[in-house]
Amino acid sequence: KAGVTQTPRYLIKTRGQQVTLSCSPISGHRSVSWYQQTPGQGLQFLFEYFSETQRNKGNFPGRFSGRQFSNSRSEMNVSTLELGDSALYLCASSLDLAGGTDTQYFGPGTRLTVL
């Protein structure tokens, strides 16, 4: 079974631009979560989607948004990019059959550099 895939793997943008990252979960997984990883802050939770609805959200500004499609694929968008948005953005998927906590499997990440 294929793992979580993320595209693109690398991105370079300039301040003020916006960016869209894509994530395809493991087949059959219904929950998709997004995380930001930086050397200074470590891994931080952005948001989680289930059945096309944002079910949970971390402590990030409104410039960070996401959505999930009917096939469970997810995208996240960052508008008005700032230098501090440079990070590895990770997507994770899980089965979430019972609606409770479940193991999350991560993709390789998208490395975003903001100049």
Minimum distance, C-beta of residue 103 to another protein, in the bound complex (Å): 6
Is 104 an interacting residue with respect to another protein (CB under 8 A)?
Answer: yes
The beta strands (E) that lie in 1-115 are given as 5-7, 10-13, 19-24, 31-38, 42-50, 53-57, 64-68, 74-78, 87-94, 105-106, 110-114
The single residue among 29, 72, 96, 112 that binds another protein, judged by CB under 8 A, is 96
Q: Which residues are at the interface with another protein (CB under 8 A)?
A: 4, 31, 33, 35, 42-45, 47-48, 50, 55-56, 58, 90, 92, 94, 96, 99-109
